[in-house]
Structure formats: structure tokens, C-alpha cells
Chain A
Amino acid sequence: MSKNDGTLWVDRYRPTSLEKLDIHTDLTNQLKKMCTSDNLPHLLFYGPSGAGKKTRVKAVLRSLFGASVEKVKVEHKAIKINTKTIEISIVSSSHHVEVNPSDVEFQDRVVVQEIIKEIAQSVPLDAGTAQKSFKVVVLHEVDKLSKDAQHALRRTMEKYVATCRLILVCNSTSKVIDPLRSRCLPVRVPLPTIKEITSTLQSIAKKEGVNLSTDLANRIAEQSGRNLRKAILSFEAAKVKQYPFAPNQVIERADWEDFIKQMADEISQEQSPQRLQLIRSRFYELLVHCIPPEIIMKNLTMELLGRVDTELKYDVVKWAAHYEQRMQTGSKPIFHLEAFVAKFMSLYKQFLSGLLE
């Protein structure tokens, strides 16, 4: 690995095989056992983002098929439905196919069926010499698939089980239907602990020849919220900003986090229609910068919770959950974000005037 090939550290130090994974060793050992037995069941990887699900899936593929899975090509495939054609990009090697079916929104059912059918019908010819006589289909973000597509998947999975195995990846199994879950072996991938992140950061620092103090590594790890990718990225960013590190080096936070903090201040300072107007423009500002509305809602709630009395906290959480759910079922997030803020303002004002009396 040359030091200046221009890639980010996140990519450069991504483990490629099961042997190189140094986080969650128990899980890795189980996966190793499974890869060596001749019967690989369908797998369902779940865990929060940044936990290393995809890395793990790649490692499993590698230990199943060897280095040739890394020779991937990206193709754009057009699938015809009645008169319409939809395009989807597929990453594939000679042993596996990777798709993110949620890209195509409501037509996902057709895509899922088409792709699996296509790969399942072409059995690998050198089944005798290759280690495995099946191909693997990796589906990302299964929890974003429509219920329709998930039901379609269930039948397809059974039908083509002889020639292909599925690896499903999702953030939470809450939105994956039960019959699908029961057909797969669930693999839970938790976020790495602060300690694991710290040691990973230090091993990267060593390989890069960077001098990283334990204290700073700890601080980076804590601020990342146990997200390894975020930690490595902010480590690299910190290095670009100032090196050698000062003992009180400031770790950059994403600017939208500060932005939301500022919004929470503004909301708790004044509760009036004018202020609401201002907050609306702030929301738009965040939304046009592609910050997902769920994240805005969540962070804002957290910030507001820190600013109110315990009595009020119950209500804040209740309404946040209420409006967030509505946001998921509705179509325009701004309405619900604003409704939440308006609700909060009225609650807060009532509470304050109650105190004065």
C-alpha cells in the first residue's frame, strides 16, 4: 500500500478479508465457521450505519470465493416493465451481484425478481472445480423495500435456493417482514466500542507514521458517537488542519450539528410567530443541504431536551415521536418539522407562564 495513492484513510485501511477484521472477533469467528461449512444459509446483516456491515459482507464474499470477487464491474441495467423502462446500477463480479433496490422506489418488486431470476438461472458451469456451486446476491437497504417487494422476495428465495444465496443488509429488522426474517440467519453487527475505535485509530496512525496521543484518539472516538467511519474521517480532517497535533486540538464537528444547536437556542429564547418564521428558513437551509429530515428531528429533539425541565421532557419526547412518525407517512418533511417546533413553543410558553403565576 503506497502512502500517497490519494485515497482516504477510510478506504485505504478497510479490511478485505475475515482474517483482517479486528473488531467483533466472536462474530468473525462464527462467520468463518459458516463459510467453511458447505451449507451457507441466507444471511441478514443488521446494525446501525457505520458498524461495518458492508465491510463484513465483502469479507464473507472473499472468503467464499477468493480474490476473484474483487474484480467488479459496474453496469447500468435497463429493466422493462410494460412500456416503461427503469435503470438501475448493478455491481457485479463473476460470483456475486450487488444491488440497492430501494433506488428505484416503487418499482422495486420487479427489480428484485428480475435480478434474482437472471442470476439464478445461470448456474456457474465450473461447479465441480470452484469451491461453491452457487452465486450470491447482495441486497442493500432491504428495510427500505416496499412490503410488496419483500413478499415477492420470499417466494423467489425459496424457488432458487439451489443456485443462489441472498445476503440482505439493513439498518433495522423492524421494517423487514417476519417471513423474510425467519428465512435468513440474522447477523447482528453492533457499533464498535470507544475502546475499539481508539485502538483502530492508533493502528492507522502507526501505519501512517502520525503521532497520535491516546487522549486525542479518545476524544475523536467519543465525538464520533461510536461510528468508526466518522472517527477515521475526522481524524484525517484534523491531521490536514493542523499537524503535529496540539494537546488541545479542536476536533471539527459537522457544521450542521452546530447549526441545529443554534436553532435550539433560538427556539428556547423566544416563542413567537416571527421566531417560527425564522426557524422555518433554518429548516429549509438544512434540507437543501441534504441533511435527512429524520436526523434533523432527532438532533433537534436531543438539543431541546437538554434545555427544558424534567416535567416537560415527557411531552417533548412524545410529540417528537408523534411528528416524526407523521413525517415518515407524509410527503413533505417541512410541515412536520415546523409543526413540532410550533408545538414545542406552545408547550414551553405554557410551562413558563405556569411558573410565573
Chain B
Amino acid sequence: MSTKRPLEAPSSKSGNDRSDSGAPLPWVEKYRPKSVDEVSYQEEVVNTLRASIERTGKTSTILAIGRQLYGDLFKSRVKELNASDERGINVVRTSIKAFAQVATSASTNASGKTIPPYKLIILDEADAMTQDAQAALRRTMETYSKTTRFCLICNYVSRIIEPLASRCAKFRFKSLTQESMEERIKYICDKEGIRFTQELGNGLSQVSGGDLRRAINLLQSAHSMYKEDTNAAALFEVAGKVPEQVVEGLIEAAQSNSFDTLESAVTETIANGYPASQIVSQLFDVITDGPLRDLQKAKIAEVLASSDKALQEGADEFLQLMNVFSVVMQEASR
């Protein structure tokens, strides 16, 4: 949750106060699912290891599981640690161990639901833990398996050391499909009084690339800036994306085989304030799907990569773009 939209003071993380009160929470937090049934996707999904690409609902799912298991006792039974918390080998040896040691008994809560006799430790972003810390966790996990279940969440399962991975049941999360994302977006639009159109849905899934959190954040920013006329174009602007016409215009200029046309097109683009790095990354998508031969694509991809690096190092945007498009021109004329 490190990329929480910084519009308000950070909301408390504990479970109970996350109700739909009128407080102006970031939408990402406001609409985080509260039970497993509410998780939009991942239907197949308890030492667990959850590995998946970014933002597909891993954290949301495990929090929902926790809340369903423990209900009101969520706070005392679940310990959540993410990358911003200190998680070196010392913490594993002391505070995790201390939390794991204390046994709990099975009980029933007020509504008569049985609460299981173990606690839950969630290690979010576990692939960022040091090797040493992971190694220290091995024994701890085994020794206290009676009283505590561990849940590790990571982006890359290959960064979890083998002995630790073998102690866990693995769940792979796929990235969200467009339909399930749309469904969630529709729900939020409904609640916030935004008119949902197909165009908006498509635009959102395009700019966010299956990343629901980013989609919701973008939706909120677009809404704060454009109010009722939130549409796909507004989303592109808020996401800092370059409109497709601009990239296509540049490619067209490159295909005209005239350096003067290209030069004025690039000057124009820079003058309009479109960031070169964004153009480079969007050009990549256009080129790879384009009609060129593989060898030509490879040549262009090479120059894209090198100029992306150059831009990161602070090279002049105009010259880099000229370089990229002159290669495109060269290849297109073959």
C-alpha cells in the first residue's frame, strides 16, 4: 500500500474502521474488498506463498481471508508486515518470533462462528526481504506451525529462497481480465456517480495495463480534475500518456522520407510538452504490432532501448527523438 493516493492523511490500517463512512478516503482504500466473496476475480484461490505480477489483488485477497477467519479479532490475530516496515534478520528473530510463540485457542465469536486456533502473519512484498532474514524464517516457520500460519506475498517467486518456498503452498495470481476489472470499475463509478461508458472502460484498462489499483487511482484523479466530463481522453492526460494520434503522426512523418518533415514534427511534439521517454515506450508497442519485418523491428527496438537509457541519464530529448525516428525512417524506407 505504499502507493496510496496521498490525498488525505493516511487512513488507519486496521480492519474495523474501514467502513463506508463519509470520510474522504482514497478510493483504492474505500473500495478494497472486505470478504473473499467480494474479491472480483481469482476464483480458484494456509502456510501460503502467493506469487504473481504486480497489483492483481494479492494483498486484498489475504486481508479478506483474514477478516473472514477472525472477524472482530482481526486486529489481535493478524500481523501484517510490508516492505516499509523493518524486516531485517533481527525482526525475524525477535518480534515475529514473539508474536508466533503465543498460542491462542479456538473460540467462537458473538455470532457463533468458530475462530480457528492459530494466528496469521502476513509478510507482504516478501521478495524484498534479505536472504539472511528469509533463512532465519525457515526454522521459525516450522517450530511455530501449530500456533501460527505464515503468508508470504511476493512478485517473483524466484526471489524467495528454495527451502522457504518448499515449506509453503503456492498460489499463483493471474493478472485481472478486462471484464472483471470493468465490473469493479463500474461498481465504483456507480457509487461515485460517474457515468460509465464503454470508452471509459477501454481507456482505463489500456492506461493501467491490468493494474486495478492504478486504474482506480487514475479514475479518482481524473474525476477531481474533470468532474462530470471524465472520459478516456481525460484519463490519458491524467496518466501522463501521449495521445495515440501524436505517436502516429510522428511515425507518419518518419515514413514521409523527408528529414525536414520529421524535424518539424519532432520540434512540434517537444513544444507541446510530451515527454520523450513516454513516446519511446509507446512507440515500442506501435512498432512491435506494426507491419515491419522482424529484422527491422529488432533494429528499431535496439535504438529504443539505448535512447530510453540515454533519456534516463538526462540526454537531450530532441536529439534522442530525432535519432529514434531517423532509424525508423531508415528502416521503413528499405
Residues of A within 8 A of B (CB): 30, 33-34, 37, 39, 41-42, 46-48, 51, 143, 157-158, 161-162, 172-175, 179, 181-183, 185-186, 188-191, 225-226, 294, 297-298, 301-302, 305, 310, 313-314, 317-318, 320-321, 324-325, 328-329
B258, chain A: closest CB distance, angstroms: 8
The 9 closest A-B pairs by CB, nearest first: A47-B273, A321-B323, A174-B277, A325-B315, A162-B9, A190-B272, A325-B310, A161-B6, A186-B240
User: Are A317 and B319 in contact, with the CB atoms below 8 A?
Assistant: yes
- Give chain A residues whose Cβ lies under 8 Å from the Cβ of B4: 158
Given contacts A191-B273, A298-B318, contact A174 B311 (CB under 8 A): yes
User: Are A51 and B273 in contact, with the CB atoms below 8 A?
Assistant: yes
User: Are A174 and B318 in contact, with the CB atoms below 8 A?
Assistant: no
User: Are B272 and A329 in contact, with the CB atoms below 8 A?
Assistant: no
Determine, out of B35-43, B64-72, B223-231, the stretch whose residues face the partner at the interface: B223-231
User: Are A310 and B8 in contact, with the CB atoms below 8 A?
Assistant: no
- Is B275 on the interface with A (CB-CB < 8 A)? yes
- Give chain A residues whose Cβ lies under 8 Å from the Cβ of B277: 172-174
Query: What are 28 inter-chain pairs, A to B, with CB distance below 8 A?
Result: A37-B224, A39-B224, A41-B5, A41-B6, A46-B275, A48-B271, A143-B314, A158-B6, A158-B10, A161-B8, A162-B8, A173-B278, A174-B276, A174-B312, A181-B240, A186-B237, A188-B240, A188-B274, A191-B272, A225-B271, A294-B316, A298-B318, A314-B326, A318-B323, A321-B307, A325-B310, A328-B310, A328-B313
User: Are B7 and A161 in contact, with the CB atoms below 8 A?
Assistant: yes
- Is B3 on the interface with A (CB-CB < 8 A)? yes
User: Are B10 and A317 in contact, with the CB atoms below 8 A?
Assistant: no
Interface residues of B in 268-286 (CB under 8 A from A): 270-278
Complex Cα distance A46/B272, Å? 10
Complex Cα distance A225/B267, Å? 9
A183, chain B: closest CB distance, angstroms: 6
- Give chain B residues whose Cβ lies under 8 Å from the Cβ of A158: 2, 4, 6, 10
User: Are B316 and A183 in contact, with the CB atoms below 8 A?
Assistant: no
- Is B214 on the interface with A (CB-CB < 8 A)? yes
Complex Cα distance A325/B320, Å? 9
B227, chain A: closest CB distance, angstroms: 6
With a 10 A CB-CB cut-off, give which of B3, B221, B263, B322 has the most chain A CB atoms. Answer: B322
Complex Cα distance A188/B221, Å? 14
A306, chain B: closest CB distance, angstroms: 9
User: Are B319 and A324 in contact, with the CB atoms below 8 A?
Assistant: yes
- Is B125 on the interface with A (CB-CB < 8 A)? no
- Give chain A residues whose Cβ lies under 8 Å from the Cβ of B6: 41-42, 157-158, 161, 183
B77, chain A: closest CB distance, angstroms: 28
B276, chain A: closest CB distance, angstroms: 5
Given contacts A41-B6, A313-B259, contact A324 B315 (CB under 8 A): yes
Complex Cα distance A329/B312, Å? 11
Complex Cα distance A298/B267, Å? 12
Given contacts A157-B6, A161-B7, A313-B326, contact A30 B270 (CB under 8 A): no
